[in-house]
Amino acid sequence: MFPPEIHASVLNQALPYIQEFRGQTFVIKYGGSIMNSPEATEGVIRNVLLLALVGIQPILVHGGGPEIDRWLERLGIEKKVSQGLRVTDDETMEVVEMALGRANKALAAKVVECGGEAVGLSGRDDDLMVAEPISEELGRVGKVSRIEPAVLRLITDNGWIPVICSVASDGKGGALNVNADSAAAAIAAAVGATKLILLTDTNGVLTDKNDKDSTISVLTARAAKEMIATGAADKGMIPKLEAAVSALEGGVPAVHLINGSIPNALLIEVLTEAGIGTMLQRVKVGE
């Protein structure tokens, strides 16, 4: 147990950040392997609720690849991947929507269990997220073309937390499977979010993928593009960097990549001087 003065010091350090961000919107993407840990999930939700209680408006976006894989295996449906994306035929799309729908309601229920108020949504609800198919080969895999933020504003303005799964409408009554990082980036740009926070299972962007302590603290959009082009970013990090760049180019001032499995990582990154992951900006301060 830490002495009371340390707790008080940490709270005092958070004050200017709370004052700066009060009334602003953070879009937080949660997914991947960390969703399999009940402890990590509860920790993230409690962090999100604390942000909400100090006046920040959080929007939670999630995927659920491991859950989809489990259901495909259980139903005897072969998983196919092309271009680093899940090939999604009509049968697979049904499984994707079912698995993400279950994950969505469980996550929204966890927010309520921890004392918050949440509304679980699919991108298909009221055509909140509309996408276009990427290619015939990938089937029902889409790239976001339009976000309708009015329903999100209605929810956040009334004190609820939107919890959105990454299934989009094709604009014709059908569903498309969308990468959750790119979905979160599109939503962040559409609602004018101050921050997009991508929770991952690594300590941000690393200079050496084999050294978890080689985190790059600050990265510009240009540097992120160079890492993608030169192969300096590994395959798992590329879609996250692409989403981050997309959000920055869409007007989001800062994107944070942090390890969601670290206790209280979200609070450390945005409410303390230290930070814990990688912050991406359009340009470095002073340039």
Domains of the chain, by residue range, sit at 4-281
Confidence of residue 90 (pLDDT cuts 50, 70, 90): very high
Q: Could you tell me the pTM of the whole model?
A: 0.93
Among residues 6, 13, 69, 5, the alpha carbon closest in space to that of 267 is found at: 13
| Tens of pLDDT, residues 112-144 | 999 999 999 999 999 999 999 999 999 999 999
CATH code reported for the domain at 4-281: 3.40.1160.10
Whether pLDDT at 286 is above 80: no
Query: How does residue 8 score in pLDDT terms, banded at 50, 70 and 90?
Result: confident
pLDDT digits (tens, 9 = 90+) for 195-249: 999 998 888 888 777 677 788 889 999 999 999 898 888 777 888 999 999 999 9
Compute the CA torsion angle 261, 35, 202, 130 (nearest 10 deg). -130
Looking at residue 6, what is its pLDDT?
A: 65
Give yes or no for residue 285 having a pLDDT over 70.
Answer: no
Active-site annotation, residues: 29, 32, 65, 181, 240
Read off the pLDDT of residues 142-169 as tens digits, 9 standing for 90 and up. Answer: 999 999 999 999 999 999 999 999 999 9
Distance of CA 121 to the CA centre of its chain: 15
